[in-house]
Amino acid sequence: MRRSLKIRSQKGFAAGLLYMVVGANVSYVSTGYTMGTAARMGPGYFPFWLGIILAVIGVIVLLQSLRISAERDTIPHLDMRTTVWVLGSVVLFGLLLRPLGLALSLVLMVILASMASHEFGWKGAVLNALLLLSISLGAFIYGLNLQLPVWPSFIE
């Protein structure tokens, strides 16, 4: 008796496919850089192997989604309201980073992205924004010493 190949976990199948595509693309693009060796790595060495590992993980996840013992699930319908709020806030952050600085653009991004939630609350959004701002300032400005504007250009 021959069994047909059925996707039991649509989420796992889609995730595996996404991992495989992204991993293969990362590996392909990294071949344009000098590879080097394990002892003397070039700029393409690490992303190449990272892409290969991601693609292999994708194959494993995809194959597990086909197993009979895999939990049945489906991919839920895409909520356009949520997608627009989150993607729009990230695009706005990129556009406002230079004129408004990291502090204001990051707080604005987190609050706008929080509005995507059906359980949005101002208190949680502002606390989350301030926590992320303190982590970002500590890591990027003081830790890595990145030359990003922290405050709006008209203040500095």
The domain ranges of the chain are 10-66, 80-143
In whole angstroms, what is the distance from residue 65 CA to residue 115 CA?
Answer: 33
pLDDT in the model for residue 143: 87
pLDDT in the model for residue 156: 61
pTM above 0.95, yes or no: no
pLDDT in the model for residue 30: 95
- The pair phi, psi for residue 9, each rounded to 5°, is -115, 100
Neighbours of 99 (CB within 10 A): 12
User: Residue 63: CB partners within 8 Å, gap ≥ 6?
Assistant: 16
Q: 31-48: per-residue pLDDT in tens? A: 999 998 888 888 899 999
The whole-number average pLDDT for the span 11-32 is: 95
Q: 53-108: per-residue pLDDT in tens? A: 999 999 999 999 988 887 888 888 888 888 999 999 999 999 999 999 899 999 99
User: CA 112: distance to chain centroid?
Assistant: 17
Alpha helices (H) in 31-138, listed in sequence order: 45-66, 80-114, 122-136
In whole angstroms, what is the distance from residue 46 CA to residue 14 CA?
Answer: 26
- pLDDT bin (cut points 50, 70, 90) of residue 4 is low
